[in-house]
Amino acid sequence: MAEPLLKPKRAPQTRTGLTDTGVKKAADKSARTRAREFALQALYQHLVGRNEADSIDAFTRDLVGFHKADSAHYDALLHGCIEGAQALDAAIVPLLDRPLAEISPVEHAVLWIGAYEFSHCPDVPWRVVINECIELAKAFGGTDGHKYVNGVLHKLAPSLRTAEVAADQAREVHAAEPEIKKGSH
């Protein structure tokens, strides 16, 4: 009788605050991160089920763990994205390499969240918006959906956060310039 094949054990995780698949542990998530997760689930219900915002909101608030979310940010994301869907899509669609109908509902909702935060949440740095959206796409989206979200939001940021992105790029260029020694010609 043949020996059963044993899967090699995964090396223990060395990064703190992450599961062995690289996702943040629930205890380490901020209230805003949780708000984005619940908003994503609610927006998915809206996109797929065409459910009304108020019924989605009531359902979502009853989910386990909602009390740990930033409910004001969740409200802003859910209602702001649904009410501003046409404007958000108008900003996103020109940056897509395919029709919007071919984008998965998860990535579509994540792009809405990113575009909404760029436009309405100036207290959240643009790089944080992109990173949070990448993490949402990794946790809830398709295999490479996070790469697509990253690409689209990186193209969108300069048009919605012009001064902030330009200032960041100027700092990067300045930091990359070699120092010119004084007196050498």
At 77 the pLDDT is 95
Whole-angstrom Cα distance, residue 157 to residue 154?
Answer: 5
Section 102-111 average pLDDT: 96
Which of left, alpha, beta for 17 (phi over 0: left; psi -120 to 50: alpha)? left
Site of tokens 């909101």: 57
> Which residue is it, tokens 């100036």?
122
Provide mean pLDDT across the span 89-117. Answer: 96
Residues in the chain: 185
Confidence of residue 21 (pLDDT cuts 50, 70, 90): very low
**One-letter amino acid identity for 115?**
A
Contact 66, 126 (CB under 8 A): no
The Cα 138–Cα 132 span in angstroms is 10
Cα–Cα distance measured from residue 115 to residue 89, given in angstroms and rounded to the nearest whole number = 9
Assess contact for 142 and 104: CB atoms under 8 A. Answer: yes
Distance (Å, rounded) from C-alpha 24 to C-alpha 37? 12
**Tokens (6 digits) for 77:** 């994301």
Residue 99 has pLDDT above 50, yes or no: yes
Q: Name the H helices within the chain.
A: 31-49, 53-61, 71-83, 85-92, 105-120, 126-140, 145-160, 162-176
Chain segment 117-173, per-residue pLDDT in tens: 999 999 999 999 999 999 999 999 988 999 999 999 999 999 999 989 888 888 877
Instruction: Check pLDDT > 90 for residue 85.
Output: yes
Question: What tokens were used for 166?
Answer: 């330009």
| 15 pLDDT above the threshold of 50 | no
**Tens of pLDDT along 36-74?**
999 999 999 999 999 889 999 999 998 999 999 999 999
